[in-house]
Chain A
């Protein structure tokens, strides 16, 4: 006796409903309802259930239940999985090689070469000795407490992922800035990538790739971190002074001349802001990605949670914060130099 019996009786569908009554196991909710006695169903208007799939299924077993929907999604995904894999596997294989290569290089370069090299990069990007001092202190501290290797693994992953984000993100952003249709189509995808909880990326990826492959976490990080660089490239190019673009057209620049000679240089501050955000988001994701075997500081954090080793988790967390501050300050300093060097004076 279910609430919506009358609909199917009224429509004369009773026979159809009962014809192939599903013998699927009861859902948890049903079990609970049974346990509670299930008395007085459908007596009070205040307890009228929403005509959802489950409620209708009670009245007419021929109608699917909600869990059939999730099951359908799952089987659907599993059905296309193999063919999807044939396409995706070779395309993404280079990502695995990059990550393995970077991890190997970062870990096997002796610390007494690696640390000065990093400091040199920092100096080249920021031209600030103060910042170099801070970075040196942070890295030496991490090395001193034996977190150097983990930190290098994390850095290697971010290095590869952020680089690929820029490599793909900037052209996508340029395409968006050129075509309103492209922008309209891309923005919902970006919104989805940005709001989908990071863990959710991992679920289908685990089915697609083996957990031992680096590209599994590489893809998760790239999908999550690529959004800001795309958005800000698009925005930056669209914000370039209309009159300057007009001048470029009036003097007969080709599209390519305009792109490389005017649009990208003038959008550079925005693009760099996007790169900064992308690096920060890769760092955020690299910790979550340790759930699917991404090496680095995230593994320690995970160990801290799993084994309730408070100190291990906290120290590793501190290491991540230090890395974040380093990456942020260095990219911001580079951004500030770009600003000062070129396009800041459009308001003159």
Chain B
């Protein structure tokens, strides 16, 4: 992941002009929203909650799209629209160009059984079934017998590090292990799309890091289309190929994480990113001078996907150096350590950001 995207990627899942309004008469409230009424006003004057507003997101095949936002920003509502656990008020959801919202119940069930699997924040395993049966749940739902899915389920349990635990019941496992079962369950369904709703938010920090690594490892191998919900920016930056930042039901910015980090376009995002360890997140390709031709004395060669942290370690902290950036034996740019240091200066918390107001 995080490599330069191959050209042949196509949009797997696409959200178009999606609106969700909660309340007794969403259709009328939608007219108000189209007329320019904002979220607070809609609630105070019309008694409707504006859950999602004009969402447009394209999710590429084989990429991890992270939707990030604070609680109440509508991210969990948004992911539930993808498999229609929640029905939208207006808009389109396209899967391979086909409008999912036009599906009848049977088509919808087929989509849920074969196209999408889901991982939940609190695992949502069936407490009365064994780990093995939970893992094979998607297959059992399709009508396969235990003998049919057993081998596959065991293979996936092995793959997520739970070999030999198939006979246990979920409550006998720790939280992290239960979520591994949740992931194995999603993988065993063999669906091309995985929806992960705050999948790691309920876990301790160390286990969470483990699970993130596991997900990246699996993703490198399986190339699924993953939609990941998170409220944690570090997690989002670590996992995302495409990052979508939600606020109050609107997309404030979306794009490549590096891009958002270097060019935040909203005080809300500036607030968000002012705290993170930029050296660990930013990569050489984001700060290098592209296609530079100078032949100057180089201290060495670095990969465009190296983090700045690793370059600093290599350079020993010397800011006078510059490095040649090589991809597959070809020079793609030059990294000047001074640029690197400059990129590490955080964008200060915006004056009109939430923190400034809170003081």
Binding site for B on A (CB under 8 A): 241, 243-244, 246-247, 249-254, 257, 261-262, 265-266, 341-346, 348
Contacts and interface: CB of A to CB of B under 8 A. Distances in A.
A250 B170 contact: no
B278 interface: no
A341 B129 CA distance: 10
Given A257-B141, A266-B128, A345-B169, A250 B117 contact: yes
Contacts of A251: 112-113, 117-118, 137-138, 141, 189
B122 to A, nearest CB: 5
A252 B109 contact: yes
Given A251-B189, A348-B170, A348-B178, A246 B112 contact: no
B85 A246 contact: yes
Contacts of B137: 251
B72 to A, nearest CB: 18
A261 B143 CA distance: 13
B170 A262 contact: no
Given A243-B122, A246-B85, A253-B141, A266 B116 contact: no
Nearest to A249: B85
Contact of B118 (A247, A253, A261, A344): A247
B83 interface: yes
Contacts of A254: 109
B120 interface: yes
Contacts of A344: 171
A255 to B, nearest CB: 10
A38 B39 CA distance: 74
B116 to A, nearest CB: 7
A89 B48 CA distance: 53
Contacts of A348: 127, 170-171, 175, 178
A345 B85 contact: no
Interface string B58-92: 00000000000000000000001001010000000
Contacts of B113: 251-252
**Central interface residue in B120, B124, B175, by most chain A CB within 10 Å:** B124
Closest 7 CB pairs of A and B: A345-B171, A252-B112, A252-B113, A247-B124, A342-B128, A250-B118, A243-B124
B10 interface: no
**Central interface residue in B112, B118, B122, B128, by most chain A CB within 10 Å:** B128
A348 B170 CA distance: 9
B110 interface: yes
A241 B127 CA distance: 10
B124 A252 contact: no
Given A246-B120, A251-B112, A252-B109, A343 B141 contact: no
B126 interface: yes
A305 to B, nearest CB: 48
Interface in B124-149: 124-128, 137-138, 141-142
B109 A345 contact: no
B193 to A, nearest CB: 11
Contacts of B80: 246
Contacts of B195: 250
7 contacts: A243-B120, A250-B195, A251-B137, A252-B142, A254-B109, A345-B127, A348-B171
